[in-house]
Amino acid sequence: MHDFWGILSAVLPVFGLTAIGVWLRNVEWLTEEADQSLMRVVVNLLTPCLILDKVIGNPALREVSNLILPPLFGLGGVALGMGIGWACRRLSGAATEREQRTFAMGSGLQNYGYVPQPIIETLFPASTLGLFFLHHLGVDIGTWTLGLVVLGHAGSRQWHKLINPPILAVGVAVGLNFLFAASWFPQEILSVGRFLGTTNRMLGACCFPLGIILIGATMAETVSELRAGAGWRLMGMSVVVRCGIMPVLMLIAARYLPGGPELKRVLIVEAAMPAAVFPIVMARHYGGDVLTAVRVVIATSVVGFVTIPLWIKFGMWWIQP
């Protein structure tokens, strides 16, 4: 059992890297023009490398239940979160339908990528991160289906968004792991395999620091869109949904629904997460209200600084048999 300070020490670097991203944007060392190219590197190269490193050779992912349940839990969590957000959308004080839809989508979707990833990697055995990537797959599916429906784009066909390098890497890595691919190679070429594995591992290690720095830069860019003295009710309700109601429901699911210890650990960390940053991008491109999305992200992230270690500590106690 991890103590509170051990959990806090795993959480603080995430906020530290985010703050560095904000600072880099403010001093113009990391410009907005660089964001897109750097994010392509993170998504299309570094993330697949990390997935391959953590999935291939992962014994937990040779169990069929661990291949099926994490994506289902990921998709189910998105459906539950956006359902709660939808039920609370009018209580948020959002005036227009566009604002209400954005609130429901933004407050219902937890940060499921670069923020929980280093926390899981720090706190738990390496096998847990492999299940995290499969859970991520389910959340991705929910984001590009249910998320668009909530935003009012029920007829939008965005399935091609799910054909991307990280998702393909999950499929390839799970298949190779399930088939014990490492045993296919003769002894004389194992040195080549070690070289490739080390290179891949070094690239994967760059993934979450750069990803979180880019999140910080994005947040610095969007903070300017906030209007002082407005939106407090909406931000307060987003905190209630994302940092209050959803952790309780997700931790109940972690304790009572089927799943091994690795999956339960993933659910504990996901339950503690603030709102995802990605809804800001979706709001810009699919007719949502950007200011509402920004308010949800900022409010839940600030409160999350306190609640993330508390929820993780409680969750680790709660799921003990």
Q: Specify if 222 maps to a domain.
A: yes
Q: Is residue 321 a part of any domain in this protein?
A: no
Q: Which two tokens stand for residue 147?
A: 């998320």
Return the pLDDT at 75: 95
The tens digit of pLDDT for each residue in 200-220 reads 889 888 988 998 898 888 888
Kindly report the pTM of this predicted structure.
Answer: 0.86
pLDDT in tens, 44-84: 899 889 888 888 888 888 888 888 999 999 999 999 999 99
- Tell me, yes or no, whether 89 lies in a domain: yes
Lookup: tokens for 94? 């959002």
Residue bearing tokens 């603080």 = 12
Is the pLDDT confidence value at 2 over 70?
no
Write out the residue range of the structural domain in which residue 128 sits. Answer: 4-316
Look at the block and give the residue holding tokens 């995430």: 14
**pLDDT band, residue 190 (cuts 50/70/90):** very low
SS3 110: strand
Residue 96 in domain: yes
Output the six-digit token pair for 32: 């907005």
Rounded to the nearest 10 degrees, the angle between the axes of helix 290-318 and helix 4-26 is 160
**Whole-number pLDDT of residue 175:** 85
CATH of residue 90: 1.20.1530
In a domain, residue 221? The reply is yes
Task: Indicate whether 107 belongs to any domain.
Answer: yes
Residue 246 lies in a domain: yes
* CA atoms of 176 and 182, how far apart (whole Å): 8
- CA dihedral sign of residues 38, 165, 57, 115: positive
- Residue 186 covered by a domain: yes
- For tokens 């407090």, name the residue: 232
**Residue 210: closest CA among 11, 13, 17, 12:** 17
- The two structure tokens encoding residue 52: 């391959």
How many angstroms from the chain centroid is the CA of residue 227? 27
Q: How many domains does the chain have?
A: 1
How far from 309 is each of 2, 174, 304, CA to CA, in Å? 11, 31, 8
Does the pLDDT of residue 5 top 90, yes or no?
A: no
Give which of 159, 106, 45 is closest to 281, Cα–Cα. 106
